[in-house]
C-alpha cells in the first residue's frame, strides 16, 4: 500500500503488514490478539484515539490525510454500511465508543517519517514566503 487506507473488520492471518511501507490500516481487534499476528518490523501499532484526544496530543504533521483517525475510520464504516448494508459495520457504528477502542491503527514508521518531513518542508516554505513578503513590503518606497 502506498498512501491508501484500509479497514479490516475480520480476523487477520499471521504476518499482517509484512512489507507495508505506506498508508494506514485500521484493524478491528475483537479478540485482542492482533499484535501477535502482525509483523511489526516496519510498523507501529497505535490506538485509535477519540478525535479531541488526537487533536490535543498528536502532532498534526503526522496525521494521515490531515484528518483524525476517528473521523476517517468512522466515515469509512458509514460508507461501507451505506453501500453494502453491512450488519457488522452497523453494529460497530451503533456501539462506536466501545468499537473504536478495539481498533488498532497500523502505521508504517517510514510513512510517518515521510509525512513529518513533507509537512516540515511545507511549514518552512510558508515561513520563508511570509518573511519575503514582509521584507518586500518594508523595502517598498513610499509614494
Structure confidence by residue, pLDDT tens digits, 37-55: 999 999 999 999 999 999 9
Q: Report the pLDDT value the prediction gives residue 23, as an integer from 0 to 100.
A: 92
Q: What is the pLDDT of residues 101-111, one digit of tens each?
A: 999 999 999 88
CA distance 74 to 18: 26
Question: pLDDT-based confidence at 61, cuts 50/70/90?
Answer: confident
Taking residue 125's Cβ as centre, other Cβ atoms within 10 Å add up to: 10
Domains in the chain (CATH in brackets) are 5-139 (2.160.20.60)
CA distance 29 to 8: 9
* Helices of type H across 85-108: 87-94, 96-102
pTM to 2 decimals?
0.82
Amino acid at each position: 500500500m502506498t498512501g491508501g487506507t484500509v479497514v479490516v473488520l475480520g480476523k487477520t492471518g499471521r504476518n499482517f503488514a509484512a512489507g507495508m511501507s505506506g498508508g494506514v490500516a485500521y484493524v478491528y481487534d475483537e479478540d485482542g490478539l492482533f499484535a501477535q499476528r502482525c509483523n511489526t518490523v516496519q510498523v507501529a501499532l497505535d490506538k485509535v484515539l477519540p478525535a479531541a484526544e488526537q487533536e490535543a496530543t498528536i502532532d498534526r504533521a503526522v496525521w494521515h490525510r490531515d484528518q483524525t483517525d476517528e473521523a476517517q475510520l468512522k466515515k469509512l464504516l458509514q460508507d461501507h454500511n451505506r453501500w453494502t448494508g453491512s450488519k457488522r459495520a452497523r453494529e460497530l457504528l451503533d456501539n462506536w465508543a466501545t468499537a473504536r477502542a478495539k481498533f488498532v491503527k497500523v502505521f508504517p514508521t517510514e510513512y510517518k517519517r515521510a509525512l513529518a518531513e513533507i509537512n516540515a518542508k511545507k511549514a518552512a516554505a510558508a515561513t520563508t514566503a511570509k518573511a519575503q513578503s514582509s521584507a518586500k513590503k518594508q523595502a517598498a518606497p513610499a509614494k
